[in-house]
Amino acid sequence: MTNKVKNRIIQLRKDLSEYNYQYYVQNQSLISDYDFDVLLKELEDLENSYPEFSDENSPTKRVGGDITKNFPSIKHQYPMLSLSNSYSKDEIIDFEKRVIKLIDQDVAFTCELKYDGVAISLTYLDGKLLRAVTRGDGERGEDVTANARTINSIPLQLRGNYPKRFEIRGEVVFPHKAFNLLNEKRKQNNEQLFSNPRNTASGTMKMHDSSVVAKRNLDCYLYGLYSDKLLFDSSFEVFDELAKWGFKSPSSNNRYVEKVNSIDGVMDFINYWDKERSNLPFDIDGVVIKVDRLDFQNELGSTAKSPRWAIAYKFKAERVSTTLEKISYQVGRTGAITPVAFLKPIQLGGTIVKRASIHNADQMSKLNLHLGDTVFVEKGGEIIPKIIEVDFSKRSEESKPAKFISKCPECNSDLVRNEGEAQHYCKNEINCPPQIKGAIEHFVGRKRMDIDGFGSETVDLLYENNLINNFSDIYDLSYNDLIPLERIAEKSASNLIKSIEASKAVPFERVLFSLGIRHVGETVAKKLAKYFKTIYRLMLATLEELVEVDEIGDKIAVSLIEYFNNDKQKLVINNLINHGLNFTIVEEDQNSDVFKGMNIVVSGKFNSLSRDEIKKLIQENGGKVVSSVSSKTDLLVAGENMGAK
């Protein structure tokens, strides 16, 4: 009897998965909705009666029901980088030139739709969905597996000949039909309508009750395959395989994806979809252009923020007119002053816009803004609203020009503007509240000191209660300091103190990045830490010594010298040193120095080792891996199909 039940459960799962695949991926209905529901109910009853045969990837999980109180933070095995944006053919041509310069031969491109949805990363093991993680900050995301299982176009069990373990990335979208139906129901119930599909999809994926997610009928298109081994030669080839495995992915049949051999081919694809995007069943905001060959992608690599082998072309933003009511000024953590326009609320790109950036004094002057002006607003890259121009025909004769301020709106210090820079700055970084709080928020953030539970609200609370006035004060906090404060419970206080203590193990390069020195980002901090080894050598470095470091120019060097010449900043650093933070780099053991001082290019396909493994061996033995052959190249490690190098 038990074997009979088990076999029936297996058969039902197989049949229901096939019906799901045919309906949601292949757009074919092999069974009526009623018959499908009957089979699903039978499977649900059997699983409830025989829990020993339960399976987290059963088709019954599509209806949801899991309650998630929080979404665990998961580190991505492969960082989820963001794409660089372009807005013209010239910028696409520049992208091609950069690629050819590094690869040293002509390349083909894969063009895809840029879905306006929520980035998702799915991990599969032995053909079963193991985990679904949001993009987050690119390094870490949130585990939303329970919600992802409710999306019918995400396969729970793969088909065909798939790898044992891999990661696939794509976009969760809210189809127009499902979104409009949801808003219609909300309208009937006198509930506030959702503004646009993308934001609603994002909010839906963060819902704690997966049964609610299941009812919203989200969709998902998958397009990026990641594995320790190079599984295919071409980005374009991947899409055919993904369909065989059961994924809903872009297809050349409907022109969602095309392989082209020229910039003219790229522009044909862009122009076609710029006109046709309104006929799609979901929103897109542009086109993604990728170097087609995957070995070339590996060779090109990435910057700290974006891959060098791909770029996004963003469609021209929607533009509307409204009234400029007033201008206020925001102070950033570096003291930069940004004028912000307050507008008469207007609908733009699916959201209500009330504010727009003016960037700086030069832009304010260029626009010739007067309070009360009728202005044209668009979303830069369809994300951040900005004022494009003024409708001078509607300007009142009584209106007065907007003038940029001369003093900090927060601490009343005189503003300065450095030669060659567009921004005005408040230099009172030690006593200006937004700069103090901004510096602390930067210090505790991810990729820096990564202190859990130390968000902006906590920073405000501790600052307002005079418990912290700079980030070194964080390490003076005690459990007894936190307990009397509103909104901080005993467990939160205990966890925060533990997280502060754990942050003392953060390596030197991240501590240096955390200090928030102007122009010193993540990559620059790594180069400085590796070169100078200790904070003491860095603090004493001259301009000449600083610019000797790879990619460090005069601007960064001057910023470092100014920072370390500030007595108050030096006092903060000394306090951090006394609290036990790492201000000395811990060198990784090298196997040898056989490649010391050598610039080495790795190109082509390899059988015994992956390209990344070869690069790691070179670095572990003192060498520097570079992407292109030049007069400075000492060694070329050549694999199959390496091209013209």
CA dist 195 and 345 (Å) reads 14
Are the C-beta atoms of residues 517 and 563 closer than 8 Å to each other?
A: yes
d(CA 258, CA 269): 8
212: tokens are 């609610």
Place of tokens 């040293």: 104
Identified catalytic residue from 114, 379, 386, 437: 114
Q: How far apart are CA 443 and CA 240, in angstroms?
A: 45
| DSSP sequence for 555-577 | HHHHHHHHHHT-HHHHHHHHHHH
Other C-beta atoms lying within 10 Å of the C-beta of residue 53: 16
Q: Is the dihedral of CA 265, 271, 275, 279 positive or negative?
A: positive
Tokens of 538: 């860095």
End-to-end CA distance of the chain: 66
> CA–CA separation, 350 vs 202, rounded Å?
14
Query: Which residues, at least 6 apart from 605, have a Cβ–Cβ distance to it below 8 Å?
Result: 230, 295, 611, 639, 640, 641, 642
Known catalytic membership, residue 427: no
Whole-angstrom distance, CA of residue 466 vs CA of residue 464: 5
Report strand pairing: 635-638 vs 599-603. parallel
**Strand, helix or coil for residue 2:** helix
**Are 121 and 135 in contact, with CB atoms under 8 Å apart?**
yes
DSSP assignment of 328-386:
EEEE-TT-EEEEEEEEEEEEETTEEEEEEE--SHHHHHHHT-BTT-EEEEEEETTTEEE
Taking every pair of Cα atoms in the chain, the longest distance, rounded to a whole number of angstroms, is 90
**Alpha-carbon dihedral sign for residues 501, 503, 505, 508:** negative
Residues catalogued as catalytic: 114
